[in-house]
Protein backbone atom coordinates (compact mmCIF):
# COMPACT_ATOMS: atom_id res chain seq x y z
CA UNK A 1 0.00 0.00 0.00
CA UNK A 2 2.78 2.38 0.93
CA UNK A 3 4.52 1.55 -2.29
CA UNK A 4 1.44 2.31 -4.37
CA UNK A 5 0.94 5.64 -2.63
CA UNK A 6 4.58 6.54 -3.22
CA UNK A 7 4.17 5.83 -6.93
CA UNK A 8 0.98 7.90 -7.09
CA UNK A 9 2.71 10.78 -5.32
CA UNK A 10 5.68 10.55 -7.68
CA UNK A 11 3.33 10.72 -10.69
CA UNK A 12 1.70 13.83 -9.19
CA UNK A 13 5.10 15.44 -8.69
CA UNK A 14 6.16 14.64 -12.25
CA UNK A 15 2.96 16.12 -13.72
CA UNK A 16 3.31 19.20 -11.52
CA UNK A 17 6.90 19.85 -12.54
CA UNK A 18 6.04 19.35 -16.22
CA UNK A 19 3.27 21.94 -15.91
CA UNK A 20 5.70 24.37 -14.29
CA UNK A 21 7.97 23.90 -17.29
CA UNK A 22 4.99 24.48 -19.62
CA UNK A 23 4.25 27.76 -17.85
CA UNK A 24 7.87 28.84 -18.10
CA UNK A 25 8.09 28.00 -21.83
CA UNK A 26 4.87 29.90 -22.46
CA UNK A 27 6.27 32.85 -20.53
CA UNK A 28 9.23 32.96 -22.89
CA UNK A 29 7.34 32.43 -26.13
CA UNK A 30 4.16 34.48 -25.76
CA UNK A 31 4.31 37.95 -27.28
CA UNK A 32 2.63 40.43 -24.92
CA UNK A 33 1.71 41.11 -21.32
CA UNK A 34 -1.85 39.80 -21.35
CA UNK A 35 -1.03 36.44 -22.94
CA UNK A 36 1.95 36.04 -20.62
CA UNK A 37 -0.38 36.73 -17.73
CA UNK A 38 -2.67 34.00 -19.01
CA UNK A 39 0.04 31.38 -19.41
CA UNK A 40 1.67 32.30 -16.12
CA UNK A 41 -1.49 32.01 -14.05
CA UNK A 42 -3.37 28.90 -15.12
CA UNK A 43 -0.70 26.17 -15.51
CA UNK A 44 1.13 27.66 -12.55
CA UNK A 45 -1.76 27.12 -10.15
CA UNK A 46 -2.47 23.64 -11.52
CA UNK A 47 1.21 22.69 -11.23
CA UNK A 48 1.25 23.95 -7.66
CA UNK A 49 -1.80 21.86 -6.83
CA UNK A 50 -0.17 18.77 -8.34
CA UNK A 51 3.17 19.37 -6.62
CA UNK A 52 1.73 19.95 -3.17
CA UNK A 53 -0.73 17.05 -3.48
CA UNK A 54 2.13 14.78 -4.53
CA UNK A 55 4.22 15.84 -1.56
CA UNK A 56 1.28 15.36 0.80
CA UNK A 57 0.59 11.88 -0.62
CA UNK A 58 4.22 10.84 -0.23
CA UNK A 59 4.77 12.22 3.28
CA UNK A 60 1.32 11.10 4.62
CA UNK A 61 1.37 13.30 7.70
CA UNK A 62 -1.82 14.95 8.92
CA UNK A 63 -0.40 18.42 9.68
CA UNK A 64 1.42 18.28 6.32
CA UNK A 65 -1.79 17.49 4.46
CA UNK A 66 -3.75 20.26 6.14
CA UNK A 67 -1.05 22.82 5.48
CA UNK A 68 -0.95 21.76 1.83
CA UNK A 69 -4.72 22.19 1.59
CA UNK A 70 -4.34 25.64 3.17
CA UNK A 71 -1.64 26.68 0.71
CA UNK A 72 -3.65 25.36 -2.26
CA UNK A 73 -6.76 27.23 -1.14
CA UNK A 74 -4.71 30.38 -0.63
CA UNK A 75 -3.23 30.08 -4.11
CA UNK A 76 -6.65 29.50 -5.66
CA UNK A 77 -7.86 32.71 -4.04
CA UNK A 78 -4.83 34.91 -4.63
CA UNK A 79 -3.63 33.85 -8.09
CA UNK A 80 -6.68 35.35 -9.89
CA UNK A 81 -6.40 38.50 -7.76
CA UNK A 82 -2.75 39.15 -8.56
CA UNK A 83 -3.23 38.24 -12.23
CA UNK A 84 -6.20 40.60 -12.47
CA UNK A 85 -4.34 43.44 -10.74
CA UNK A 86 -1.26 43.06 -12.93
CA UNK A 87 -3.30 42.97 -16.14
CA UNK A 88 -5.40 45.92 -15.08
CA UNK A 89 -2.34 47.93 -14.11
CA UNK A 90 -0.83 47.03 -17.48
CA UNK A 91 -3.95 48.20 -19.29
CA UNK A 92 -4.23 51.43 -17.37
CA UNK A 93 -0.60 52.36 -17.82
CA UNK A 94 -0.71 51.80 -21.56
CA UNK A 95 1.36 48.63 -21.78
CA UNK A 96 -1.39 46.70 -23.60
CA UNK A 97 -1.95 47.02 -27.33
CA UNK A 98 -5.72 47.57 -27.30
CA UNK A 99 -6.06 47.19 -31.08
CA UNK A 100 -5.29 43.46 -30.68
CA UNK A 101 -8.11 42.84 -28.20
CA UNK A 102 -11.34 41.15 -29.33
CA UNK A 103 -13.39 42.22 -26.32
CA UNK A 104 -12.42 45.42 -24.51
CA UNK A 105 -14.82 46.21 -21.68
CA UNK A 106 -12.39 48.44 -19.81
CA UNK A 107 -12.23 50.93 -22.69
CA UNK A 108 -15.83 51.91 -22.13
CA UNK A 109 -15.27 52.37 -18.41
CA UNK A 110 -12.15 54.46 -18.85
CA UNK A 111 -12.69 56.57 -21.95
CA UNK A 112 -16.43 57.14 -22.38
CA UNK A 113 -17.60 60.12 -20.35
CA UNK A 114 -19.11 58.95 -17.06
CA UNK A 115 -22.54 60.19 -16.02
CA UNK A 116 -22.77 63.23 -13.75
CA UNK A 117 -21.56 62.66 -10.21
CA UNK A 118 -19.62 59.51 -11.05
CA UNK A 119 -16.16 59.57 -9.46
CA UNK A 120 -15.05 56.36 -11.11
CA UNK A 121 -11.73 57.83 -12.19
CA UNK A 122 -10.62 57.79 -8.57
CA UNK A 123 -10.89 54.01 -8.45
CA UNK A 124 -7.82 52.20 -9.61
CA UNK B 1 12.19 7.62 -6.04
CA UNK B 2 15.55 9.29 -6.53
CA UNK B 3 15.06 9.00 -10.27
CA UNK B 4 11.70 10.77 -10.16
CA UNK B 5 13.08 13.49 -7.92
CA UNK B 6 16.07 13.99 -10.22
CA UNK B 7 13.89 14.19 -13.33
CA UNK B 8 11.55 16.66 -11.65
CA UNK B 9 14.57 18.68 -10.51
CA UNK B 10 15.79 18.90 -14.09
CA UNK B 11 12.34 20.05 -15.26
CA UNK B 12 12.19 22.71 -12.54
CA UNK B 13 15.72 23.86 -13.37
CA UNK B 14 14.82 24.30 -17.03
CA UNK B 15 11.68 26.19 -15.98
CA UNK B 16 13.72 28.45 -13.71
CA UNK B 17 16.15 29.23 -16.55
CA UNK B 18 13.27 30.13 -18.89
CA UNK B 19 11.65 32.33 -16.23
CA UNK B 20 14.97 34.08 -15.57
CA UNK B 21 15.24 34.82 -19.28
CA UNK B 22 11.80 36.47 -19.19
CA UNK B 23 12.63 38.44 -16.03
CA UNK B 24 15.80 39.73 -17.66
CA UNK B 25 14.13 40.68 -20.94
CA UNK B 26 11.09 42.41 -19.51
CA UNK B 27 10.21 44.53 -21.42
CA UNK B 28 8.16 46.19 -18.67
CA UNK B 29 8.01 45.93 -14.90
CA UNK B 30 4.75 44.02 -15.06
CA UNK B 31 6.22 41.37 -17.39
CA UNK B 32 8.99 40.91 -14.86
CA UNK B 33 6.47 40.61 -12.05
CA UNK B 34 4.64 37.88 -13.96
CA UNK B 35 7.99 36.11 -14.19
CA UNK B 36 8.53 36.50 -10.46
CA UNK B 37 5.09 34.92 -9.88
CA UNK B 38 6.10 31.86 -11.87
CA UNK B 39 9.44 31.81 -10.08
CA UNK B 40 7.56 31.62 -6.78
CA UNK B 41 5.72 28.62 -8.15
CA UNK B 42 9.04 27.02 -9.17
CA UNK B 43 10.41 27.56 -5.67
CA UNK B 44 7.28 26.01 -4.15
CA UNK B 45 7.64 23.02 -6.49
CA UNK B 46 11.28 22.59 -5.45
CA UNK B 47 10.25 22.73 -1.80
CA UNK B 48 7.60 20.08 -2.45
CA UNK B 49 10.28 17.89 -4.08
CA UNK B 50 12.56 18.36 -1.07
CA UNK B 51 9.79 17.52 1.37
CA UNK B 52 8.76 14.46 -0.66
CA UNK B 53 12.32 13.18 -0.89
CA UNK B 54 13.40 13.72 2.72
CA UNK B 55 9.91 13.14 4.21
CA UNK B 56 10.45 15.91 6.73
CA UNK B 57 7.40 17.77 7.99
CA UNK B 58 9.11 20.82 9.48
CA UNK B 59 9.07 22.92 6.30
CA UNK B 60 5.34 23.62 6.44
CA UNK B 61 5.66 27.27 7.45
CA UNK B 62 8.00 27.87 4.50
CA UNK B 63 5.26 26.90 2.04
CA UNK B 64 2.80 29.34 3.58
CA UNK B 65 5.31 32.18 3.81
CA UNK B 66 6.58 31.79 0.25
CA UNK B 67 3.09 31.77 -1.25
CA UNK B 68 1.99 34.80 0.81
CA UNK B 69 5.11 36.80 -0.05
CA UNK B 70 4.71 36.05 -3.77
CA UNK B 71 1.14 37.31 -3.73
CA UNK B 72 1.94 40.47 -1.77
CA UNK B 73 4.87 41.28 -4.05
CA UNK B 74 2.90 41.17 -7.27
CA UNK B 75 -0.02 43.13 -5.77
CA UNK B 76 2.33 45.82 -4.46
CA UNK B 77 4.04 46.20 -7.83
CA UNK B 78 0.69 46.32 -9.63
CA UNK B 79 -0.47 49.09 -7.29
CA UNK B 80 2.70 51.10 -7.85
CA UNK B 81 2.69 50.80 -11.67
CA UNK B 82 2.97 54.12 -13.51
CA UNK B 83 2.75 54.97 -17.21
CA UNK B 84 6.24 54.79 -18.63
CA UNK B 85 8.00 56.49 -21.49
CA UNK B 86 8.67 53.97 -24.29
CA UNK B 87 12.11 55.50 -24.82
CA UNK B 88 13.15 54.76 -21.25
CA UNK B 89 12.46 51.04 -21.24
CA UNK B 90 16.09 49.96 -21.28
CA UNK B 91 19.11 50.76 -19.16
CA UNK B 92 21.35 53.32 -20.86
CA UNK B 93 24.96 52.62 -21.70
CA UNK B 94 27.72 54.66 -20.07
CA UNK B 95 28.24 56.78 -23.20
CA UNK B 96 24.55 57.66 -23.42
CA UNK B 97 24.47 58.56 -19.72
CA UNK B 98 27.51 60.81 -20.22
CA UNK B 99 25.98 62.53 -23.26
CA UNK B 100 22.76 63.22 -21.34
CA UNK B 101 24.72 64.57 -18.35
CA UNK B 102 26.75 66.88 -20.62
CA UNK B 103 23.59 68.15 -22.31
CA UNK B 104 22.03 68.90 -18.93
CA UNK B 105 25.20 70.68 -17.75
CA UNK B 106 25.25 72.83 -20.91
CA UNK B 107 21.61 73.72 -20.37
CA UNK B 108 22.30 74.77 -16.78
CA UNK B 109 25.23 76.92 -17.92
CA UNK B 110 23.09 78.79 -20.43
CA UNK B 111 20.42 79.35 -17.79
CA UNK B 112 22.89 80.79 -15.29
CA UNK B 113 24.27 83.06 -18.05
CA UNK B 114 20.82 84.48 -18.59
CA UNK B 115 20.37 85.02 -14.89
CA UNK B 116 23.65 86.91 -14.56
CA UNK B 117 23.11 89.10 -17.62
CA UNK B 118 22.65 92.83 -17.08
CA UNK B 119 19.00 93.84 -16.92
CA UNK B 120 18.05 95.97 -19.90
CA UNK B 121 16.00 98.47 -17.91
CA UNK B 122 17.32 98.41 -14.34
CA UNK B 123 14.89 100.97 -13.00
CA UNK B 124 12.50 101.04 -15.95
CA UNK B 125 13.18 104.74 -16.70
CA UNK B 126 15.89 104.70 -19.43
CA UNK B 127 13.71 105.48 -22.42
CA UNK B 128 11.77 108.25 -20.74
CA UNK B 129 14.99 110.02 -19.76
CA UNK B 130 16.38 110.09 -23.31
CA UNK B 131 13.06 111.30 -24.70
CA UNK B 132 12.49 114.04 -22.19
Is the pLDDT score of B10 beyond 90?
A: yes
The mean per-residue pLDDT over the stretch A89-99 comes to 79
Please judge whether B67 and A78 are an interchain contact, meaning their C-beta atoms are less than 8 angstroms apart: yes
Is residue B15 within 8 A of residue B37, CB to CB? The reply is no
Give contacts of B 66-125 with A, CB under 8 A.
Answer: 67-68, 71, 74-75, 77-79, 81-84
* pLDDT band at residue B17 using 50, 70 and 90 as cut-offs: very high
Please list every residue in chain B whose beta carbon sits closer than 8 Å to the beta carbon of residue A124: 79
* Cα Rg, chain B, nearest whole Å: 30
Determine the distance in angstroms separating the CA of A30 from the nearest CA of chain B, rounded to an integer: 10
The predicted pLDDT at position A46 comes to 92
Among the ranges given (A79-83, A85-89, A95-99), the one the predictor scored with the smallest mean pLDDT: A95-99
Determine the distance in angstroms separating the CA of A40 from the nearest CA of chain B, rounded to an integer: 6
Looking at residue A98, what DSSP letter applies? G
Please judge whether B52 and A16 are an interchain contact, meaning their C-beta atoms are less than 8 angstroms apart: no
Is the pLDDT score of A58 beyond 60?
A: yes
Cα–Cα distance for residue pair B2/B9, rounded to 1 Å: 10
Is residue A37 within 8 A of residue B34, CB to CB? The reply is yes
Computed over every residue of chain A, the mean pLDDT equals: 84
Tally of CA atoms within 13 A in the half-sphere of B119 that contains its CB:
6
Is residue B10 within 8 A of residue A13, CB to CB? The reply is no
Please judge whether A93 and B14 are an interchain contact, meaning their C-beta atoms are less than 8 angstroms apart: no
Cα–Cα distance for residue pair A88/A84, rounded to 1 Å: 6
The mean per-residue pLDDT over the stretch A103-112 comes to 76
Is the pLDDT score of B95 beyond 90?
A: no
Please judge whether B15 and A23 are an interchain contact, meaning their C-beta atoms are less than 8 angstroms apart: yes
From the list A109, A38, A114, A51, the residue with the least C-alpha distance to A79 is: A38
Helices (H) and strands (E) in chain A, counts: 4, 0
- List, for residues A14-33, the tens digit of each pLDDT value: 999 999 999 999 999 988 88
More confident call, B25 vs A53:
A53
- List, for residues B37-92, the tens digit of each pLDDT value: 899 999 999 999 999 888 887 888 898 999 899 889 888 888 887 776 656 656 67
| Prediction ipTM score | 0.82
Name residues whose C-beta falls within 8 Å of residue A10's C-beta, 6 or more positions apart in sequence: A54, A58, B1, B4, B52
Cα–Cα distance for residue pair B90/B79, rounded to 1 Å: 22
Q: Please, what is the end-to-end C-alpha distance for chain B in angstroms?
A: 108
pTM for the whole structure: 0.74
Amino acid sequence: MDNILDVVGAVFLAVGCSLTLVAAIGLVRYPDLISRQHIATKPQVLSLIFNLTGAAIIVRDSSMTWTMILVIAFQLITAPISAHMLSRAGYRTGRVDTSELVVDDLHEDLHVAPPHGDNRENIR
Amino acid sequence: MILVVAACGVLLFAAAIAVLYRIERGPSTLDRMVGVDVMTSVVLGALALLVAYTRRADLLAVFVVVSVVGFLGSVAVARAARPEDPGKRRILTIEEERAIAEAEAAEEDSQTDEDNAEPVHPDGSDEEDTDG
